[in-house]
Structure 1
């Protein structure tokens, strides 16, 4: 049996970053595979964009962050500010989602027009096993997750109040630029 989930992805922090990213994500579970397809437009051009689904390990229903989550009132919603409504970063959409390796340089890079298209088919058993190892649940619960697109050019001037650095990756890499709620299609 095939199950399909979709997310309409809309801009977050668009007024501050000077572009309003939009797109769509489709997740198709077909037998023993999960196919993830994400198409984005109006992102920062020629920029690598980290993408993940976020959620709560306890099964709470995640919601997209809005400007209301800007608790330090700097005009940006940074990664830590998304956590109360969206939960934690769970599965990356890079070259190997099933490994759940978040900090890598294998995420898609937008073209000169700010467009990119990502498609990856992963073994459902592998990603479920890794998900269980990390979050103690082998069901991805896609209907309780949100998709985040991150990343602005290193040349963009950002305030020091933006948090979210992961190892060698600074706030330019982790700043959320778009978000969408995953729903069953």
Structure 2
């Protein structure tokens, strides 16, 4: 059995008006990957996309800092995270093993900005999809970063905030918290 944990800390907190934080735990046990995420102080009553990001070549991913705000608009948006965190890899949604990133199957925060997410993922199926997408079935969790995304549609964002994914705009993809996954 292998265990990993990420201590998730706020991103863009001053701009979005809350300091989203929490933990993500990953346990590889036989033929399953058990994932548990608990988040506090997220924007209330909205869906929050959550994923782990990384580099397909196994390079170490890191949590972004304001140094990644390349356009100096005061926000670290999704495209600006890629330099240090890599690409979106696996969604923490209703079926992570399908690796279907853009859809409405993610956790929704309650009226207090809290949510818990827990799932058992069939490891063999996830590894097969991961290999199709990234050329390896090794998830290398200790080289990845967990991201939580999503702000209310009525939050005013400058046009410089990027992150459109299909029909989902930057309100859906703006990172609100991130944490480096480490061996427990």
TM score, norm. by length of structure 1: 0.99
Could you tell me how far apart the structure 2 residues matched to 1:49 and 1:66 are? 21
Could you tell me how far apart the structure 2 residues matched to 1:173 and 1:66 are? 20
- Provide the secondary structure at the position in 1 that maps to 2:37: strand
Who is 1:93 aligned against?
A: 92
How do 1:3-152 and structure 2 match up within 5 A?
3-152=2-151
Q: Please report how far the alpha carbon of residue 174 of structure 1 lies from its aligned counterpart in structure 2 after TM superposition.
A: 0.2
Structure 1's unaligned 5+ residue stretches are none
Q: Deviations over 1:47-85 (max 9, x none)?
A: 100000000001100000111100000000000000000
The list of structure 1 runs, each at least 4 consecutive aligned residues, that deviate by more than 4 angstroms after superposition, is none
Q: Does 1:154 align with 2:158?
A: no
Q: Please report how far the alpha carbon of residue 158 of structure 1 lies from its aligned counterpart in structure 2 after TM superposition.
A: 0.8
Structure 2's unaligned 5+ residue stretches are none
Could you tell me how far apart the structure 1 residues matched to 2:165 and 2:22 are? 25
Could you tell me how far apart the structure 2 residues matched to 1:67 and 1:22 are? 17
Taking only aligned residues, the RMSD between alpha carbons, in angstroms, comes to 0.4
Q: Deviations over 1:9-58 (max 9, x none)?
A: 00000000000001000000001100110000000000100000000001
Could you tell me how far apart the structure 1 residues matched to 2:49 and 2:111 are? 17
TM score, norm. by length of structure 2: 0.99
